[in-house]
Amino acid sequence: SYVLTQPPSVSVAPGQTARITCGGNNIGSKSVHWYQQKPGQAPVLVVYDDSDRPSGIPERFSGSNSGNTATLTISRVEAGDEADYYCQVWDSSSDHQVFGGGTKLTVL
Amino acid sequence: EVQLVESGGGLVQPGRSLRLSCAASGFTFDDYAMHWVRQAPGKGLEWVSGISWNSGSIGYADSVKGRFTISRDNAKNSLYLQMNSLRAEDTALYYCAKAAELGYSNYPDYWGQGTLVTVSS
């Protein structure tokens, strides 16, 4: 089955840029979606189809996808961005939705 | 406003059954596929099952195939998950999620708050 690999944690100072990666075999050929989950809350979609933002999501959130790595970039990081972030794709080989293991973003 | 409200969770003994429900509102339910996604305590997200808008296409994670059954009632704007032969490793918060389009190959775009299932003797 298809595997998505994320770093367990990323730390960044307020105002700086956070980059969270999601690795997968030829992931650039798939559409990648990203979710933010704050403690005790349900996940929220922050980027879909590699780089599109749902309405209400700040422009500070952006995404890219090429080769074997997709990246969620959060610019001008704020304390309120501290959360777990998950990448997700559709694996057509298995007809399964697949999630990465998640990355905990810490704002220093 | 999209609203998804799960119910039916609780404490159940290993080997027993439980049925989860999800009441949907704020969108045209039969225009979208639906998913169940779970999260074990302190762990990440795991897709459990998906169902297309008309129930014509259904999929399950390998970990639940043969034990869980997803269904929907478009007349009642409701999604269900029948869980049989429950195991300790099924303990998790179960989320109902709306898909972005008709087929369950589409990503979840809205999530409920979840219902907790605890499997323990």
Strand partners, B3: B25
What is d(CA B2, CA A42) in angstroms, rounded to the nearest whole number? 14
B100 at the A interface (CB within 8 A)?
yes
Among A34, A97, A98, the strongest candidate for a mutation testing the B interface, having the largest count of B CBs within 10 A, is A97
In this prediction, residue B6 has a pLDDT band, given cuts at 50, 70 and 90, of very high
- Tell me if A99 and B44 make a contact (CB, 8 A cut-off): yes
**CB neighbourhood size of A16 (10 A):** 13
Average pLDDT, chain B: 97
- Tell me if A43 and B111 make a contact (CB, 8 A cut-off): yes
B41 at the A interface (CB within 8 A)?
no
pLDDT along chain A (108 residues), means of 10: 97 98 98 98 98 97 98 98 98 96 98
Tens of pLDDT, residues A54-77: 999 999 999 999 999 999 999 999
Nearest Cα residue to A32 out of A70, A6, A75 = A70
Tens of pLDDT, residues B43-96: 999 999 999 999 999 999 999 999 999 999 999 999 999 999 999 999 999 999
Q: Could you tell me which residues come within 8 angstroms of residue B97 by beta carbon, excluding any fewer than 6 positions away?
A: B4, B34, B35, B36, B37, B108, B109, B110, B111, B112
What is d(CA A88, CA A103) in angstroms, rounded to the nearest whole number? 12
